[in-house]
Structure 1
């Protein structure tokens, strides 16, 4: 039992590192870059489920908040959480939980994993746009234009790939009794 808990903590930490690594894959398209973070969040939720994926995201956010350069562009600090991308970062928590929860309810089926990852991607975009509206003092139209529209197609593509790769990896990990 104790070994199982330790193993799960290590896996959760590993996914926090995966999120940090994929955060460095960025395409600047304005004040909010296109990053690999949402792909990593979807992968974590698909493989680990709601609870452990959310823990992984929380570890990632805490690391960044205390100054470890894990956010996009090797950035860190509370200023990033309260800056233009802060809503997206906080949205990752809800993305991980909801995506994992929905997938768990269907015993990790491929079609539903794709659906759940797309829903999760839109949750992240919703938090990002809401933060841009409130924190950036933008109109709803400007917040939607800056924080949602450029990310819809890439978000759907990342969600599909996260589901496809995640379910495949999860099946192998279940067979090896690692999750």
Structure 2
């Protein structure tokens, strides 16, 4: 039992590192760039399920918080978490848990994974927009026009890709006995 817990913690940490690597894929897009982070969070949740995906995201955020440059654009620190994109970073925790939890409660199939990833992406966008409203002192319209509307189509695309990749990787990890069925 102890070895299984250790194996799962190591797997969670490995996926946190994967998130840090994929986070560096960025496309400048105004004050809030398009990043690979949302894709990676969705894929991790699809592979690991809710609780373990949330742990992976928390490890990632803690690495960034202590100064390791893991956030998009090799940024880190408290300033990144409290800055304009901080709500998106915090939203990743809830995205990971909700996406993975939905899959655990239904089934790890492609159709459910797409659905769960789209819900998770929506959660991230809501957190980011609310953060812009209160953290940056924006009006609701400006916060949603800046932090939600432009990211709907990219969120859908990343959600679908995260589902496809996540289900494929999960099947292989289950087959190799790294994950339970």
Q: Shorter chain as normaliser: what TM range?
A: over 0.9
Distance 1:107 1:147 in 2: 31
Q: How many residues align?
A: 179
Indicate whether 1:10 and 2:10 are aligned: yes
Deviates more, 1:114-123 or 1:101-110: 101-110
**What's the counterpart of residue 77 of structure 1?**
77
Structure 2 runs not aligned, ≥5 long: none
**What's the counterpart of residue 41 of structure 1?**
41
**What's the counterpart of residue 154 of structure 1?**
154
Indicate whether 1:61 and 2:61 are aligned: yes
Question: What TM-score results when the alignment is normalised by the length of structure 1?
Answer: 0.98
Q: Secondary structure at the match of 2:32?
A: coil
**What's the counterpart of residue 103 of structure 2?**
103
**What's the counterpart of residue 22 of structure 1?**
22
1:67-146 alignment to 2 at 5 Å?
67-146=67-146
Shift of 1:111: 0.5
Deviations 1:29-64 (A, max 9, x none): 111110000000001100000010000000000110
Question: What TM-score results when the alignment is normalised by the length of structure 2?
Answer: 0.97
Distance 1:148 1:110 in 2: 25
Structure 1 runs not aligned, ≥5 long: none
Distance 2:108 2:95 in 1: 16
